[in-house]
Amino acid sequence: MRDDTADVRFALIDDANSHGLFTEIGPKVPMTPGEPMPATPAPSRLDAARRLTDLVLDPHVDTARLDAVVDRAATSLHARSAQLSLLGDCQVTGAVGGASEAPRGSATAYEDTICAWTLRTDEPLFISDARLDARVSSIPAVRSGDVVAYAGVPLRAEVGIVAVLCVFDPEPREWQDADVRLLSGFADEVQAELARLTATSGAA
């Protein structure tokens, strides 16, 4: 299932702040009058995800609103747990909701996560019973029974997917179209809050 509302973009470009998600400022290059400007290397998806991770994990950044949105996602979808997964060099927990006890900043290798599948599929991922899905059935959290039903919506920067907002349950669940719309709406809220945090950090 794909929900176009999930394919939202960060609207903010922060030229001055090191947490900016979409721009890189390189060293100054001496220019000769009339010489064409050198091309600026485009930031990669990985660069954007790293900067997003640094922003969310910065102890000076107030993430209370972000945490509240993720928690409401779990409550509204009647899911046991919710998580904002940041997809940089590995998966890093950016925020949790519901009964999840994963600490902010905890890291997991991609081969041991479900959220990383959004990088392969490039779309929302909804799984009724992960134990029966060959793509993810061997993942430790699935084998332990902590994650059985899973729903995740990707968050995108201009250069690609940088995070996933997901909810999950220890019991099988048939996801409905209403669940897709609801989780996509919370993903929109998370993106808006991340843009606000970027702007606030840049103004500090």
> Per-domain residue ranges for the chain?
51-203
| Residue located via tokens 């590995």 | 90
Q: What is the pLDDT of residue 35?
A: 43
pLDDT at 79: 97
Q: Which two tokens stand for residue 115?
A: 């959220």
Fold of 51-203: Beta-Lactamase (3.30.450)
What pLDDT does 10 receive? 33
Specify the pairing of strand 107-108 against strand 91-98.
antiparallel
| Cβ count near 20 (within 10 Å) | 21
Give the helix/strand (H/E) hosting 141: helix 140-143
What's the confidence (pLDDT) of residue 202? Answer: 66
pLDDT of residue 158: 85
pLDDT string in tens for the chain (204-residue length):
444 433 333 333 233 333 333 333 233 334 344 444 434 445 699 999 999 999 999 999 999 999 999 999 999 999 999 999 999 999 999 999 999 988 999 999 999 999 999 888 889 999 999 999 999 999 999 999 999 999 999 999 888 999 999 999 999 999 999 999 999 999 999 999 999 998 887 644
Res 200: pLDDT:
85
pLDDT tens digits, one per residue of 122-135 = 899 999 999 999 99
pLDDT given for residue 120 in this prediction: 87
